[in-house]
Amino acid sequence: MIFTADQIAKALNGKVEGDKNTEVQTLSKIEEGIAGSLSFLANPKYTPFIYETKASIVIVNDDFKASKAINCTLIRVKDAYSAFSQLLEMYNQVKMNKTGISKQAAIAETAKIGENVYIGEFVVIGDNAVIADHAKLYPQTYVGENCKIGENTTLFAGVKIYSDCVIGKNCTLHAGAVIGSDGFGFAPQVDKNYKKVAQIGNVIIEDNVEIGANTTIDRATLGSTRIRNGVKLDNLIQVAHNVEIGENTVIAAQTGISGSTKIGKNCMLGGQVGLGGHINIGDDVKIGAQSGIISNIKDGQTILGSPAIDVSNFIRSSIYFKKLPELARKISALEKKLTDN
């Protein structure tokens, strides 16, 4: 789609400086701008690029002052970064505004399909599933029997939702995510083999949740694995059976959460964090990347390491970690001296 500087300025409550009829049809970073593209300048260290960018329109802050001639049209706004983010969201909504049901989709007769939905090629929807208004199911997604998909929720290509799971409103599940696969439950037997324990619960994902590509969330043994409102999960995360993740908690890639662990609200977990089973993580907790958590964590703590400890203690301890080889040599020298005597 093609937009003029004037149209963009009106959408952002901005002011055009230059040709208001300048047209753009794509977005770009300012250092990689091309003719017909729209970019922005928010970080001062990128200021030199505005004098050489090929972008046709650049969004800048109201207080930006040019030190030499600029070839592009400017749109001045209160906050260039926020304004560009707003445009990205508008652009994405236009791009993702798909509707219609493919003839190649397989939809059970007992399934209920809402209005203005998009159901792509080779989507499978099971018995008694409910797909709410404005939901989007991209090609090759699978929604099992008795599942519920909320309004304005998007399942990208290859997402698999096992039976009886519930996905709330305004959620986004990226390609390859698996929701409701069996929890890792096996009972040890006297002959050293393991007998599978049936996993008959489900997964409940509340509203405004985003789940990254190839992330897996296991169904509960009994009851529900529950992801609360506003949670954001990165790619390649494993959430085990009966886990609960509190509101607005964010978790980075490759984190693994063992069964029946409870994570509070407003927490932040770095990449590759490992959490043991049956522990409680309080509210507002921050956990550094690659930390190993084996016990309960109180509200508001910031921890790091494996096993994880308070971050200030970890930093002090790291000074000694670096000196361990030197200390080992001193101890060896003292032992030798004592032996010789």
Instruction: Decide if 142 is inside a domain.
Output: yes
> 241 an active-site residue?
yes
Quick one: 19 and 124 in the same domain? Answer: no
* Pairwise CA distance, residues 310 & 305, whole Å: 9
Instruction: Decide if 159 is inside a domain.
Output: yes
Quick one: 107 and 88 in the same domain? Answer: no
Instruction: Decide if 324 is inside a domain.
Output: no
Mean pLDDT (the chain) is 95
Examine the pLDDT at 321 and tell me if it is beyond 90: no
What per-residue string of b and e applies to 1-24 under the rule 16 or more CB within 10 Å gives b? eebbbeebbeebebebbbebebeb
Examine the pLDDT at 200 and tell me if it is beyond 80: yes
CB 127, CB 145: distance < 8 Å: yes
Instruction: Decide if 83 is inside a domain.
Output: yes
Instruction: Decide if 318 is inside a domain.
Output: no
Give the three-state DSSP class for 78. coil
Question: pTM to 2 decimals?
Answer: 0.85
Angle at 66 between CA 63 and CA 71, to 5 degrees: 120
Instruction: Decide if 191 is inside a domain.
Output: yes
- The per-residue pLDDT for 89 is 87
CB atoms under 10 Å from CB of 120, counted, come to: 20
CB atoms under 10 Å from CB of 142, counted, come to: 19
pLDDT tens string 252-273: 999 999 999 999 999 999 999 9
Copy the structure tokens of residue 65.
């002052």
pLDDT tens string 43-94: 999 999 999 999 999 999 999 999 999 999 999 999 999 999 999 888 888 8
Examine the pLDDT at 32 and tell me if it is beyond 90: yes
Domain range spanning residue 214?
Answer: 101-311
CATH code assigned at 23: 3.40.1390.10
Quick one: 14 and 149 in the same domain? Answer: no
- The per-residue pLDDT for 322 is 84
